[in-house]
Homo-oligomer: A and B are copies of this chain.
Amino acid sequence: MTPDTSGHASTGTPFDSLVTVGLEQTSTVDRVVEELRRAVFEGELESGTPLREVALAESLGVSRPTVREALTLLVSEGLAIREPHRGVAVATPDPESIGDVSRARCVLELAGVRGWREATDADKKAVRTALEEYAAAVAGSASYEELNRRHLAIHLAFVGLTGSPRLVAMGASAHAELRLALAQVERARRNASDQVAAHQLLVDLLEADKVDQAAAELRRHLADGEAAILERLGLHPDQ
């Protein structure tokens, strides 16, 4: 069955052959988590899909304990749900949780935007850079997931204006759930709409020190986003 004897080359993991110039000492568990995250964000794993330990183990060429630890991490990130003795499954975003995530985003990002004047130059620059990279990605017609990531990076940069790494981490966690929901909703129709203008307006308002206007605009922008997701979610009532 298992032709081991010579290490654990196992089935094709094309990444292992790469040199990996010593910089990134990634543990096996980290790589598994990364792969699962990618699959979830890319929409390859449908919401609710059970993640069986043995199947994943032989599919990824690692042992069951390794997969198990990766799943535990995934659950702790909120991307999957574990039911005792029933296994782990990809989380299913319901309208309630979407609303909750949106509220959390709103709090975090508004806190950043309101603190624009007190923010460090580095954090302000991060906002501009994120916007530029998003615009470049749109112009270069990057992949759907790429656009999505760059878009959320702008919003994360807003949170970063608070200067608090923990708040940024919280924002990232919220965005992870959002990306999960987006992947489920837009699995077929990947119409990442071009929203460069809206974000440019936001940053312009900030640069002009019109903080309150920017905050109001951001609030509207987030409400729009939530409505869009909910609407599309409503169109896919698979259950």
Contact = CB atoms under 8 A, between A and B. Distances in A.
A107 B69 contact: no
Contacts of A101: 166
Interface stretch (A157-165, A197-205, A225-233): A157-165
Interface string A52-79: 0000000000000100110011001000
Interface residues of A, number: 27
B103 A107 contact: no
By DSSP majority rule, is chain A's interface helix, strand, loop, or mixed?
helix
A86 to B, nearest CB: 12
Nearest to A30: B84
28 contacts: A9-B96, A25-B84, A27-B84, A65-B65, A68-B69, A69-B69, A72-B72, A72-B73, A73-B76, A76-B76, A100-B164, A100-B165, A100-B166, A101-B166, A103-B162, A103-B163, A103-B164, A103-B166, A104-B164, A104-B166, A104-B167, A104-B170, A107-B111, A107-B162, A107-B164, A107-B167, A166-B174, A170-B170
Interface of A: 9, 11, 25, 27, 65, 68-69, 72-73, 76, 84, 96, 100-101, 103-104, 107-108, 111, 162-167, 170, 174
